[in-house]
């Protein structure tokens, strides 16, 4: 018990902060973003990733978070093969957090250990549900791996990414399951990676909420896992599971897990089990902006 408490304190000394949210677009929309995006946001060219398969553009906010618009170069099908986002449809597909940890391997060891203990404790109370959730088994994280991209001005960026994994009860192993966030720890200075104008026409200054849909049977599982890896111990409401997280340079952000309500939402989570429905972008002088992709008319 003493060891667990010591490790618990160590974890909260490097709290997780929302880093960015990833939106997959057709390549044509990345090269020439639609008017509804350019009317609301200043979009910054990000460059091409080290593997040569994807390019991105950034919508950077004052709170240090950003929306990453990403596309497979020329929409080549072969670039999707063996890529962790290769099977994803266009839309909001992923989310990343960061910490102040200087050693991503130590951070990886801790979240794996902590997540394992949380799952072991809760498995005794039917925490891994049967039926619609379809995600029985265990969550963990793969070892950090090096990534990077080259900005249009030639600046080389490097980082380590730590992706979640899921092992089902029958032993099937999936890297990058559709639920827990991944972690990004910079090798080169973060300010080189997160660079762009923050003076957006719509007034957005940061990500205030990440709104997530899950099947009702998965609500406890996903929210408990997220709380474990993000280090949150606040109260939760009965109807939704909410996680308060930091941002790199601004007010906190709320991650809200809600069960699907409408028939459309239920169909969406039946297909994906977990879906980042939309973002609520806070503003210092205007009404909040709701961001979703594809755009909801």
Which pTM does this prediction carry? 0.89
* 8 A C-beta contact, residue 62 and residue 197: no
Distance CA 256, CA 218 (A): 14
The token pair that represents 275 in the structure block: 């879906």
Residues of the chain with pLDDT below 70 are 1-14, 120-136, 178, 232-240, 271-273, 296-297
Domains of the chain with CATH codes: 204-289 (2.60.40)
* Whole-number pLDDT of residue 62: 97
Q: Which of 113, 38, 51 is nearest to 84 (CA)?
A: 51
* 8 A C-beta contact, residue 268 and residue 13: no
pLDDT tens readout for residues 122-139: 554 444 433 344 456 778
Contacts of 13 (CB under 8 A, 6+ apart): none
* CA dihedral angle for residue 95, residue 100, residue 103, residue 107, rounded to 10 degrees: -60
Q: Which of 21, 33, 86 is nearest to 292 (CA)?
A: 21
Q: Which residue has the tokens 């951070």?
A: 107
* Whole-number pLDDT of residue 120: 65
Q: Cα-flanking dihedrals φ and ψ of residue 42, to 5°?
A: -90, 120
Q: Which residue has the tokens 């980042």?
A: 276
* Whole-number pLDDT of residue 169: 75
Q: Cβ–Cβ contacts within 10 Å for residue 230, how many? A: 23
* Whole-number pLDDT of residue 231: 74
pLDDT tens readout for residues 258-297: 888 888 888 878 766 678 999 999 998 878 999 999 876 5
């Amino acid at each position: 018990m003493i060891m667990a408490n010591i490790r618990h304190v160590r974890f909260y000394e490097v709290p997780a902060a929302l880093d960015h949210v990833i939106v997959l677009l057709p390549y044509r929309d990345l090269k020439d973003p639609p008017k509804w995006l350019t009317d609301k946001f200043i979009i910054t060219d990000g460059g091409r990733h080290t593997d040569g398969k994807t390019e991105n553009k950034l919508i950077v906010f004052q709170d240090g978070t950003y929306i990453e618009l990403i596309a497979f170069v020329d929409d080549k099908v072969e670039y999707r093969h063996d890529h962790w986002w290769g099977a994803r449809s266009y839309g909001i597909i992923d989310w990343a957090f960061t910490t102040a940890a200087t050693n991503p391997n130590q951070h990886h060891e801790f979240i794996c250990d902590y997540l394992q203990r949380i799952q072991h404790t809760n498995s005794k109370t039917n925490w891994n549900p049967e039926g619609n959730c379809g995600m029985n088994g265990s969550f963990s994280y793969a070892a950090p791996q090096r990534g990077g991209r080259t900005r249009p001005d030639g600046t080389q960026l490097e980082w380590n990414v730590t992706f979640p994994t899921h092992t089902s009860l029958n032993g099937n192993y999936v890297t990058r399951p559709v639920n827990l966030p991944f972690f990004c720890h910079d090798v080169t200075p973060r300010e080189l990676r997160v660079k762009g104008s923050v003076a957006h026409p719509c007034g957005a200054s940061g990500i205030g909420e990440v709104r997530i849909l899950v099947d009702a049977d998965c609500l406890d599982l996903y929210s408990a896992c997220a709380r474990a890896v993000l280090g949150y111990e606040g109260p939760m409401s009965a109807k939704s599971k909410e996680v308060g997280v930091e941002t790199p340079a601004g007010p906190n952000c709320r991650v809200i897990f809600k069960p699907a309500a409408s028939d459309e939402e239920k169909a969406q989570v039946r297909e994906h089990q977990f879906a980042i429905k939309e973002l609520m972008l806070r503003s210092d002088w205007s009404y909040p902006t709701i961001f979703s992709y594809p755009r909801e008319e």
